[in-house]
Structure 1
Amino acid sequence: MEGFDWKALQNGSDIRGVALEGVPGEPVNLTGAIAHTLGKAFASWLAAKLDKPAAELSLAIGRDSRLSGPDLMQAVMDGLSAMGCQVYDCAMASTPAMFMSTVLPEWQCDGAIMLTASHLPFNRNGLKFFTAQGGLGKPDITELLALAESGDLPESASPGTIQSRDLISAYAAYLVQTIRQAVNHPDAFDQPLRCLKIIVDAGNGAGGFYAHKVLVPLGADITGSQFLDPDGTFPNHIPNPENKVAMASICEAVVAQQADFGIIFDTDVDRGAAVDAAGKELNRNRLIALISAIVLREHPGSAVVTDSITSEGLTQFIEGELEGIHHRFRRGYKNVINEAMRLNNEGQESWLAIETSGHGAMKENYFLDDGAYLVSKLLVELARSRQMGRSLTDLIASLKEPAESEEFRLTIQTPDFKAYGSTVIEKLQAFAAEQSGWIVVPKNYEGVRVSCTSPQEEGWFLLRLSLHDPVLPLNIESNCEGGVPQIKQRLLGFFETFAELDLTALR
């Protein structure tokens, strides 16, 4: 593996790479041999952090439905075993479940690994790492990759054992008990979702367990649930709550089946979204508003940390209607989680950190971004609302939603894309400050956000630099018809002065 670019595998706080051939221009860089070394590196890294021999570590490992998963997982397990670790093979699992293997009383592993590339195409795969303190951060991944590159990973004289163990059932039982206790139905404690028809769309990822192992024991009718069987070719739609085709599929299923509720997960179940009985998406700003209403009722006056592209209507709802604090931060699920933790440490209570992508983490649940736990909170409220003769969405009846909302991704066509993108953002801020009816938002943590106050625009836009790609995402929202094209047209003249920007999306 001499000359191998280990740094290319880092994707923020995850490791991701190309695991299968078949896509032009995407050579494989996550092989069995690389995965084997990464397993050894994690064992060595964790042993040093916990100050105990690698041979005394117990580690759980699971995967999603990707085609490359079984072979890569076996390679990682062999690497862990070579270091002397006790390895638990959890087979098909979810990312949140793998973290829970470090804290569930009957498990309490020293660490865990999930093989997944979230919503990325079939040829990709990756690794997420956990300890009982949560997921590894970006500096941890940098250390781990440096260790792998060094090759200084002496194996144990006595290999550790690999044992199959059913984690997903233990995790599902935790969710079932959590819902039962929260609803606390006087006449149906064991089955608080009885008489509710709830459809699950797992997109052929790892989330199919939620229908049979969580909803059925709670009494729900899951007739009409779809794409529950794992299939790494993802033959029906991309398992991604942000994907329009995926959301249209679950919305149509809810209406066709006359269901009370719909649930959709991404591939590894760390993200989720929902659909109401009318087939309307509970996604993005609506999802954040709904879970905020629940959390702020339980923790009045606390802060809700979101990413940077949430709407003005959401801010008005959280701060005006719910009397909470909307702390709009940066994109990236680890960013919003870490910011919520920071606020708590500094004395500002925060119980919810959530992205518009569907990554939602709660203080009561280890600040773990857990799509299954998030929708479980919604199901508790659904059951309670039904008992009181109300609708779940009554909670967000006053949420003001934009008339138009679009995202445009402007590709930067120069190798030094971060510096170039930063220059564009800096110059846009100066340009916007000179425009009639445009006000640069002062309290902003990412890129430049501008409020557009004219009656023809009545909205806002945000330009930021992508976390990992040579792209400047531009989000525009307007409260009036035709507002987005109006704002876009004014911006187009500015962007045309930058030769290295591909403006195809805007044109």
Structure 2
Amino acid sequence: MNFDDIFKAYDIRGRIPEELNDEVATKLGKAYATYVKADTVMIGHDMRVTSPQLANAFAAGVQSTGKNVSFLGLIPTDVSYFAAGKFELPCVMFTASHNPANWNGLKFTDAGAVPIGKESGLQEIKRILEEESWTTSDQPGTREEMDVVDQYVEHALSMIHIDKIKPFKVAVDAGNGMAGLIVPKVFQHLPCELVPLYFDLDGTMPNHEPNPIKPENVAELVELVKHEGCDIGLAFDGDADRVFFIDERGSRVPSSLITAMVAKNLLAKKPGSTIIYNAVSSHSVPETIEENGGKAVMERVGHSYIKKTMKETGAIFAGEHSGHYYFLENYRADSGLIAALFVLEMLSDMDVEFSAALSDFEKYFAIEETNSEVADKDAAIARLKKAYSTAEILEFDGTTFTFSDYWFNVRPSNTEPVLRLNLEADTPQLRDAKAAEVLNIIRQG
């Protein structure tokens, strides 16, 4: 079997059952257990219909090598990172994040919540899998069931001052995903009124795709915020490691504004610290970091890249445009829940409405990230380079073209057969004109 299609830049994702099934999961368990040094492997899974069965097949593969399994069961992805950090053990999470219901996948973490990506172990796991050169043992490893959710809730709440939180009215769309499990457990400790939407765990995702980066997937939450008079809205993706925000007016909040807001807050507490951002983040992010005495470091999209650079630079925080937020005190891992708690605490301290708190960071005008299916991605990028040859061009996490009054980035998706466009300009008129112009060139093929 050819495994090239399921091994991505920083995780494994495939269609069920043609690309990912029990047999493949068992072999992956053998390969992963052979790769990691620890004698025990932790395993968690999300609410997808196929996740429990795949996780159990993977566990059998691990045990066949003689290594032990601590089975964490049904958890959000950020709980798997927490467990790997707290217990200094490798952990695998079965989830395909926001992908459709007929997909599944695996996110690998080594002991200490160290990420395993394409350039940090994933290719070695693939080699072991392809060669079937895994360890075997006459004595199977043991298996124990382990519940770490309550410990994670305690950890997440320890990141803020609970007594500072004001009695906000908070609408939350769990999208029938893992936020439906974890959010009630956290909010029972807060003085907030929770207005839930789609909290029932359902792996068929019957109400909408659990991908809040798309406006159509938060449309109901926007209306709920406005109808119920909420102070803030939170939209989580399927495995609950990403969060997107809605302000009190029902407006979607760009993730770059949250990154800038959190960065400013953290730099006031830890002056001179390093904070990481993406090439596709708003220019307001590095500007805010530097204006507040911090060091801004650009890194590629993807948790394995971000966490590695956080460790190398000593960064205290990182934010991605895709709604991932990483915290040093969270084992350098991302957590949508912790990001939401940070924002609630900041709004409590500032004592202003959410939209007012963001106004200082709204300097530019950006498009929604726009995908284009193209037959030849390289040819499309070559057309752009020819058309915008006078730009300052940066080849990093795609290709970024920068002019004095606008910039745009085009990069191939790591998980889908598309080119992604991000563009930002000094005025909305320039934004709209340039977005149409660039998309026309991309889609000529």
TM-score (normalised: structure 2): 0.90
Q: Is contact 2:264–2:288 with CA below 8 Å preserved after alignment?
A: no
Contact 1:89–1:164, Cα closer than 8 Å, also in 2: yes
Larger RCO: Structure 1 or Structure 2 (Cα < 8 Å, ≥ 6 residues apart)? 2
* Cα offset, 1:361, TM superposition: 1.0
Q: Give unpaired runs (5+ residues) of structure 1.
A: 21-27, 51-56, 186-191, 345-349, 496-500
CA contact (8 A) 2:30 2:62 kept: yes
The one of 252, 255, 262 equivalent to 1:291 is 262
Deviation, 1:264, is 1.9
Match for 1:135 among 115, 122, 139?
Answer: 115
C-alpha distance in 1, partners of 2:398/2:6? 26
Aligned AA (2:302): G
Superposition TM-score, scaled by structure 1 size: 0.79
Q: For 1:162 and 1:489, locate their aligned partners in 2 and report how far apart those are by CA, in whole Å.
A: 56
Question: In the alignment, is residue 215 of structure 1 matched against residue 184 of structure 2?
Answer: no
CA distance in 1, matches of 2:428, 2:354: 29
What RMSD, in angstroms, separates the aligned Cα atoms of the two structures? 2.7
* Partners of 2:248 and 2:353 within 8 A in 1: no
Where does residue 29 of structure 2 map in the other structure?
39
Work out which of the residue numbers 143, 147, 160 in structure 1 matches 2:141.
160
Q: Which residue, 64, 69, 74 being the options, matches 1:82? A: 64
Which residue number corresponds to residue 174 of structure 1? 155
Distance change (3 Å), C-alpha of 1:404 and 1:427: closer
Deviations 1:464-501 (A, max 9, x none): 344465543332223334323432465478x4xxxxx6
Partner of 2:335: 370
Cα deviation, residue 251, structure 1 = 2.3
Once the two structures are overlaid, the 10-residue window that deviates more, 293-302 or 200-209, is 293-302
Deviations 1:336-358 (A, max 9, x none): 333333333xxxxx322221001
Partner Cα separation in structure 1 for residue 202 and residue 415 of structure 2: 28
Q: Does 1:123 align with 2:119?
A: no
Aligned to 1:451: 402
Classify 1:276/1:491 alpha carbon distance in 2 versus 1 (closer, same or farther; 3 Å).
closer
1:472 to 419, 425, 432: 419
What is the aligned partner in structure 1 of residue 319 from structure 2? 354
- Structure 2 counterparts to residues 63-82 of structure 1, below 5 A: 63-82=45-64
1:101 maps to: 83
Contact preservation (8 Å) 1:413, 1:502: no
- On the 8 A contact 1:440/1:448 being kept in 2, the answer is no
Say if 1:251 and 1:462 are closer, same or farther in 2 by CA, change over 3 A: same
The 5 A counterparts of 1:14-53 are 14-20=11-17, 28-46=18-36, 49-50=37-38
Question: Which AA in structure 2 matches 1:451?
Answer: T
Alignment of 1:305-454 (within 5 A): 305-320=276-291, 322-344=292-314, 350-385=315-350, 389-391=351-353, 394-403=356-365, 405-414=367-376, 420-421=378-379, 425=381, 428-429=384-385, 431-434=387-390, 439-440=391-392, 445-453=396-404
Deviations along 1:247-276, one digit per CA (max 9) or x if unpaired, are 222222222222232222111122112223
What is residue 503 of structure 1 aligned with on the other side?
A: 444
State whether structure 2 residue 225 is matched by structure 1 residue 235: no
Residue 172 to residue 125, structure 1, CA distance change in 2 (3 Å): same
Deviations 1:270-322 (A, max 9, x none): 211222333333332222122222222222233332111122344444434x3
In 1: Cα distance, 2:387 partner to 2:368 partner: 21
1:127 to partner: Cα distance: 0.9
Change (3 A) 1:409 1:273: closer
1:12 corresponds in structure 2 to 9
1:16 Cα deviation after fit: 1.2
Give SS of 2:367's match: strand
| Shift, 1:101, TM fit | 1.7
Aligned to 1:498: none
2-structure distance, mates of 1:169, 1:397: 36
Partner AA of 1:152 in structure 2: S
Of 280-289 and 262-271, deviating more is 280-289
